[in-house]
């Protein structure tokens, strides 16, 4: 096993919020997503509440391991429903014996919990086939951390409605609970302050899994609030212990977090949460020059397993995506779904922005009857799109054009998106011609909400195809 001697934050760059980490045998597992097929969970109705950045979709997965099986639980949130409507929250558990296999994670087992950020905990003497669930009741309705014991196979509660076990330290929005047991004590770790600049982690302990819990006098045990720190909004932590006895935490954070943070909430690590620790010696990160389409194969076919680093929206229509001799072929949605739509599955493939300064470059051919391009996408309300037709390129912000059209020749067109500290700059060129500036967008306009920026090609409207011949992503040394 590799001993943790040094790490560099963020340990997972690009938006990867609400991290959860465990050690099993010789391997650390830090979870993000186990959903690979619609039968596990439908994302069709996942969106944001218009004008609010109140984000739906899957929140806060927790990973745990018990008696040879890996478990992940999470909450699917439907933000269009009222805050007090318990059907706003769909809590689910998935399991597998092999976390590496693409389709090995089970279909989900749902369980009732009137809130979010649910977590799993096994005690030493609880009945077989059961698990304790901790979760957060929604702060707009009733703040607090609650717990229930459920049947793992059916999701049925064995202890009645969830019981409140801690209200936190008095800071707003207690959430993100995780339970641990050490030396006969039950430790409850939560987040408070909301996932913004006052975010923090606090802890309490009890001799009973049901409480009462006494707060740590050193709370908050993790916070960047009111500090001149590069990483802000630190919180929503999970802790784990190395075989050497050292304690570490993973948590979310944003870089600076005040105005420009298009990468959203990233995953950081911290030492000495419960004692112990090592010194970190940081080396510069290497430059990245990534051929995003590498390994896409030959022949025209639909790709069964998408690379984990490439994301699509909601439940993608597989008929709109094909791989042909190492190139990506995109077909507009037959339902007319577009990037600016609150629902549906527009044809779009995105790679996370993982550095403040980076360059994405594409060689594309837009068919005669198609419209496509490249999007810097945060959500359906906030995205910059370089829109290509057969003869023009233009920059769109939401539904509005924000720059004059630039003429392009028919055939292959190159698109370049340069991310800077406070802006995204868009260029095009035809053939071997000169690069032409199309426009720019402010990074602050895609710096909000629960996710972060994706950069990638899209196809919408028309009946033709959009072909992506090359796609590179470059980061300088840092």
Catalytic residues: 18, 175
Strands (E), 9-85: 20-24, 27-31, 48-49, 54-55, 57-66, 69-77
- Give the helix, strand, coil percentages of the chain, each rounded to 5: 0, 45, 50
Residue 295: HSE in the Cβ half-sphere, 13 Å Cα cutoff: 9
CA dist., res. 133 & res. 148, Å (int): 5
Two structure tokens written together for 52: 């609010």
The per-type count for the chain, helices as H runs and strands as E runs, is: 0, 38
In Å, how far are 243, 275, 281 from 268, measured between CA atoms? 21, 18, 16
Q: 163-166 and 175-182: which strand pairing? A: unpaired
Q: Rounded to the nearest 5°, which phi and psi values hold at 429? A: -150, 150
Cis status of the peptide bond prior to 348, with omega within 30 of 0: no
CA dihedral 429, 433, 434, 436 (to 10 degrees): -30
CB neighbour class for 49 (10 Å; exposed up to 12, middle 13-18, buried from 19): middle
Two structure tokens written together for 102: 């693409």
In Å, how far are 349, 396, 455, 457, 473 from 415, measured between CA atoms? 15, 14, 12, 10, 12
Give the list of residues 6+ apart from residue 19 with CB closer than 8 angstroms, or none. Answer: 12, 30, 31, 32, 236, 238, 250, 251, 252, 267
The sign of the dihedral angle between the CA atoms of 9, 264, 39, 461 is negative
CA dist., res. 190 & res. 36, Å (int): 29
CA dist., res. 18 & res. 34, Å (int): 14
Residue 148: HSE in the Cβ half-sphere, 13 Å Cα cutoff: 21
Q: Rounded to the nearest 5°, which phi and psi values hold at 446? A: -125, 35
Quick check: 257 and 268 in contact, CB under 8 A?
no
Q: Rounded to the nearest 5°, which phi and psi values hold at 444? A: -65, -25
CA dist., res. 99 & res. 340, Å (int): 35
Two structure tokens written together for 257: 């977090």
């Amino acid at each position: 096993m590799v001993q943790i001697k040094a790490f560099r934050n963020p340990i997972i760059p690009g938006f990867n919020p609400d991290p959860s980490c465990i050690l099993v045998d010789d391997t650390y597992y830090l979870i993000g997503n186990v959903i690979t097929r619609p039968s596990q969970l439908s994302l069709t109705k996942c969106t944001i509440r218009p004008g609010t950045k109140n984000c739906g979709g899957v929140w806060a997965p927790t990973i745990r391991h018990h008696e040879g099986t890996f478990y992940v639980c999470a909450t699917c949130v439907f933000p269009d429903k009222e805050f007090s409507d318990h059907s706003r929250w769909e809590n689910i558990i998935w399991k597998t014996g092999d976390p590496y296999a693409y389709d090995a994670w089970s279909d989900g087992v749902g369980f009732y919990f009137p809130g979010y950020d649910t977590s799993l905990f096994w005690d030493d003497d609880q009945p077989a086939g059961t698990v304790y669930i901790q979760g957060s009741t929604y702060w707009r309705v009733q703040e607090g951390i609650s717990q229930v014991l459920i049947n793992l196979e059916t999701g049925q509660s064995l202890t009645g409605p969830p019981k409140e076990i801690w209200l936190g330290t008095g800071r707003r929005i207690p959430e993100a609970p995780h339970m641990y047991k050490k030396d006969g004590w039950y430790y409850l770790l939560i987040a408070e302050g909301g996932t913004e600049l006052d975010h923090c982690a606090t802890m309490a302990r009890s001799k009973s899994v049901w409480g009462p819990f006494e707060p740590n006098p050193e709370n908050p045990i993790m916070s960047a609030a009111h500090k001149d720190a590069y990483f802000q909004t630190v919180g929503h932590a999970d802790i784990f212990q190395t075989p050497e006895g050292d304690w570490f935490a993973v948590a979310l954070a944003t870089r600076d977090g005040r105005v420009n943070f298009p990468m959203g909430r990233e995953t950081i690590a911290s030492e000495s949460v419960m004692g112990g620790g090592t010194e970190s010696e940081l080396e510069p990160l290497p430059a990245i020059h990534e051929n995003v389409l590498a390994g896409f194969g030959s022949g025209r076919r639909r790709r069964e397993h998408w690379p984990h680093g490439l994301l699509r929206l909601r439940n993608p229509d597989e008929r709109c995506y094909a791989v042909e001799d190492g190139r990506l072929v995109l077909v507009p949605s037959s339902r007319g779904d577009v990037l600016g739509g609150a629902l549906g599955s527009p044809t779009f493939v995105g790679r996370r922005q993982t550095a403040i300064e980076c360059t994405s470059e594409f060689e594309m051919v837009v068919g005669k009857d198609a419209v496509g391009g490249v999007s810097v996408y945060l959500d359906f309300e906030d995205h910059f799109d370089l829109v290509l037709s057969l003869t023009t390129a233009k920059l769109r912000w939401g539904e509005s054009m924000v720059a004059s059209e630039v003429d392009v020749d028919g055939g292959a067109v190159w698109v370049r998106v340069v991310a800077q500290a406070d802006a995204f700059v868009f260029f095009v060129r035809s053939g071997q011609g000169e690069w032409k500036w199309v426009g720019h967008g402010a990074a602050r306009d895609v710096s909000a909400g629960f996710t972060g920026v994706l950069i990638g090609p899209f196809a919408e409207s028309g009946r033709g195809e959009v072909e992506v011949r090359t796609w590179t992503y470059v980061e300088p040394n840092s």
